[in-house]
């Protein structure tokens, strides 16, 4: 019985080796196929985000929207009048004559939530002489006074007390009457055909700097917040993909190592049995 036991054992070992050869490569091929199909990488197609990151992105977009709104409001209320005022050049004026028109002008005022009234205010006119041209011109307080009423020096706040409005106009008239013949600085527009000059500029370069700087800083801060959050999410996604690739590569090498060890053990056993026989 012993001569027949050795071929039977060799046949069983050969069948086991063939089963091992077909089993392990199949598992390895399955891993490689799973890796090439991209199943582990398709799990995180979207950028991972947390509640804090979502709030940060919303804050960034809110800051950018608020800065755009600030640009629009400041541009229409400050920048536009400033662009008109920079076209004016400085000159020297001398007061010639001041008077108050007989016909008072109409104005509207509010006296409560649902209360509106109509009033009148005196129109003060100040005529000056421009030193650079020697022409007679009508003086206004600032650019806003020219846009509201080009006929008067200024437009007071409308209310019911007519005596208070008249006394304010008389005080200004007396001030210019005392400066009769005394030169003072004023601003005129060379490109304008009308000889309207202003006493002071409402907006200077420092005000324009603040109107441009703070909205720009808010816009830059919002864009920086959104960019940093997106960059963090992108780096997190790349790190997770890299970890998945490394994990799959390490897992694919394990079956081949086990298969090599099994082959060595089988060869040693077959040699040992052959020596015994």
What confidence tens digit (pLDDT) does each residue in 115-167 have?
788 888 999 999 999 887 788 889 999 888 888 888 899 988 888 888 999 99
Residue 276, pLDDT score: 57
Q: What percentage of the chain has pLDDT greater than the value 90?
A: 21
Residue 41, pLDDT score: 44
Residue 169, pLDDT score: 92
Among 58-62, 102-106, 260-264, the range scoring the smallest mean pLDDT is: 260-264
Residue 218, pLDDT score: 93
Average pLDDT, whole number, for the chain? 75
- 274: number of Cβ within 10 Å: 10
Residue 119, pLDDT score: 85
Per the CB < 8 A criterion, the answer to whether 196 and 87 are in contact is no
DSSP code string of 142-205? SHHHHHH-TTSS--PPP-S-HHHHHHHHHHHHHHHHHTBT-EEEEEE-TT-SS-EEESS-S--H
pLDDT in tens, 29-50: 444 444 444 444 444 455 556 7
Residue 20 has pLDDT above 60, yes or no: no
Q: Residue length, the chain? A: 277
Residue 261 has pLDDT above 50, yes or no: yes
Q: Taking residues 256-267, report their average pLDDT.
A: 58
Among 40-44, 77-81, 227-231, the range scoring the smallest mean pLDDT is: 40-44
Q: Where residue 274 falls among pLDDT bands split at 50, 70, 90?
A: low
Torsion of CA 90, 91, 94, 95, to 10 degrees: -30
Cα within 13 Å of Cα(227), Cβ side: 7
**Separation CA 53–CA 239 (nearest Å):** 18
Residue 92 has pLDDT above 60, yes or no: yes
Q: What percentage of the chain has pLDDT greater than the value 70?
A: 68
- 257: number of Cβ within 10 Å: 10
Among 37-51, 112-126, 185-199, 226-240, the range scoring the smallest mean pLDDT is: 37-51
């Amino acid at each position: 019985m012993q001569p027949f036991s050795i071929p039977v054992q060799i046949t069983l070992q050969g069948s086991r080796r063939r089963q091992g050869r077909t089993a392990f490569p199949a598992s390895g091929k399955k891993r490689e196929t799973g890796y090439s199909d991209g199943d582990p990488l398709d799990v995180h197609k979207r950028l991972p985000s947390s509640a804090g990151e979502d709030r940060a992105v919303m804050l960034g977009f809110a800051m950018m929207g608020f800065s755009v709104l600030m640009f629009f409001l400041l541009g229409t209320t400050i920048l536009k009048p400033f662009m008109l005022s920079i076209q004016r050049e400085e000159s020297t004026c001398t007061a010639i004559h001041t008077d108050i028109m007989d016909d008072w002008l109409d104005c509207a005022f509010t006296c409560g939530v649902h209360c509106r009234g109509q009033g009148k205010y005196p129109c003060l006119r100040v005529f000056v002489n421009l030193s650079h041209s020697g022409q007679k011109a009508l003086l206004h307080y600032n650019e806003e006074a020219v846009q509201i009423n080009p006929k008067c020096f200024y437009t007071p706040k409308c209310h019911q007390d007519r005596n208070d409005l008249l006394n304010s106009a008389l005080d200004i008239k007396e001030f210019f009457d005392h400066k009769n013949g005394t030169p003072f600085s004023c601003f005129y527009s060379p490109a304008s055909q009308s000889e309207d000059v202003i006493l002071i500029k409402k907006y200077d370069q420092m005000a324009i700097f603040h109107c441009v700087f703070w909205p720009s800083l808010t816009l830059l801060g919002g864009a920086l917040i959104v960019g940093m959050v997106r960059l963090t999410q992108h780096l997190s996604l790349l790190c997770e993909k890299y970890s998945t690739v490394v994990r799959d590569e390490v897992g694919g090498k394990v079956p081949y190592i086990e298969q090599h060890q099994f082959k060595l053990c089988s060869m040693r056993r077959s040699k040992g049995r052959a020596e015994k026989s």
